Structure 1
């Protein structure tokens, strides 16, 4: 696996999946709340691995519940065949964090803001570090425990009552059994 060459001040908004048809369209696993804005024609997307882009969206449409994109590669080179689209499979699509709109809800966070925070119990004991956020029906924080292993913490106010972004930490007030391995 290649090391990441994408700047740290970006956030993943999608992942290219399999080709669709024979004219170069690609399916996209959407990882943004506003795909119609983020993947609008003309949108520029950074890529990981970096050698595959940047990509410019030339067309965007929904097919059933799957987003399909037509894109151009570096230098305006169109991706216009199934083979060219296949070369983009598993490419992560990034945008600069600075392009993200501010969140209106003070209790809402972008995933990248939560990753890296220290998870602490209400008494201040360090539980571990948030290493990912999963969206599987409910939002789940993936915490790499200090004592080894991972813990999935439902990201709801009753269990995570405090998020202190400037302080780099959040409080996990676990219900009985959550911390059991």
Structure 2
């Protein structure tokens, strides 16, 4: 099972460049503590019939450097570059309280305004470098992006399958007056 066609898989990391000549690889971990990624081993991948087993890992700057059972040489390590690492959602621990959740649990939630207007559903949680953003897919048209902050998204109700988004107030500037 290497396929990611199962919607119940959560992306946990991605293998990057080879490290050294003995088959070690760099891994970008998406876990809160990067070293925790090894605890989920063996990991499913986006490659057919391939799993990855982390034998040893150490933190180097913001990346893991790992010894993998599947990588014995630099050539093996180079061949794994770009491999995405997944675990089934049910393998992740339950969250402690109602204000804690996994981003994957937000996908598919209905998005509405405080007045009850339907905005669409959560298609993805993105981060382009300036913070997390919810991508909302309306019934028609292109997706909309909303900042994923407590101010913009004050309510998340996983049990009932919705979240509330407070859209930002639009400011309209008359172009003729803008630079007088």
Query: Which ranges of structure 1 fall in alignment gaps of 5 or more residues?
Result: 74-78
Query: Which ranges of structure 2 fall in alignment gaps of 5 or more residues?
Result: 172-180
Q: Describe the superposition over 1:81-100 as per-residue Cα deviations: whole angstroms up to 9, x where unpaired.
A: 12111221211111122221
Q: Describe the superposition over 1:78-124 as per-residue Cα deviations: whole angstroms up to 9, x where unpaired.
A: x1212111221211111122221222242121011011212112222
**Hey, what's the Cα distance between the residues in 2 that align with 1:32 and 1:50?**
24
Q: Describe the superposition over 1:155-175 as per-residue Cα deviations: whole angstroms up to 9, x where unpaired.
A: 222211221213222111112
SS at match of 1:94: strand
Q: Which residue of 1 aligns with 2:168?
A: 175
Q: Describe the superposition over 1:2-45 as per-residue Cα deviations: whole angstroms up to 9, x where unpaired.
A: x95453322111011121122111111221113222225x8211
**Residue 46 of structure 1 pairs with residue 44 of structure 2:** yes
Q: Is the 8 A contact 1:141 1:154 kept in 2?
A: yes
Partner of residue 104 from structure 2, selected from 109, 112, 132: 112
Structure 2 counterparts to residues 119-130 of structure 1, below 5 A: 119-130=111-122
Q: Which residue of 1 aligns with 2:18?
A: 19
Q: Which residue of 2 aligns with 1:34?
A: 33
**Residue 61 of structure 1 pairs with residue 51 of structure 2:** no
Q: Which residue of 1 aligns with 2:131?
A: 138
**Hey, what's the Cα distance between the residues in 1 that align with 2:6 and 2:143?**
27
Q: Highest Rg: 1 or 2?
A: 2
Q: Is the 8 A contact 1:6 1:50 kept in 2?
A: no
User: Could you tell me the TM-score, scaled by structure 1's length?
Assistant: 0.82
Q: Is the 8 A contact 1:134 1:141 kept in 2?
A: yes
Partner of residue 76 from structure 2, selected from 69, 73, 84: 84
SS at match of 1:142: strand
Q: Is the 8 A contact 1:126 1:146 kept in 2?
A: no
Q: Which residue of 1 aligns with 2:174?
A: none
> What RMSD in Å do the two structures reach over aligned CA positions?
2.3
**Hey, what's the Cα distance between the residues in 1 that align with 2:111 and 2:153?**
9
Q: Which residue of 2 aligns with 1:149?
A: 142
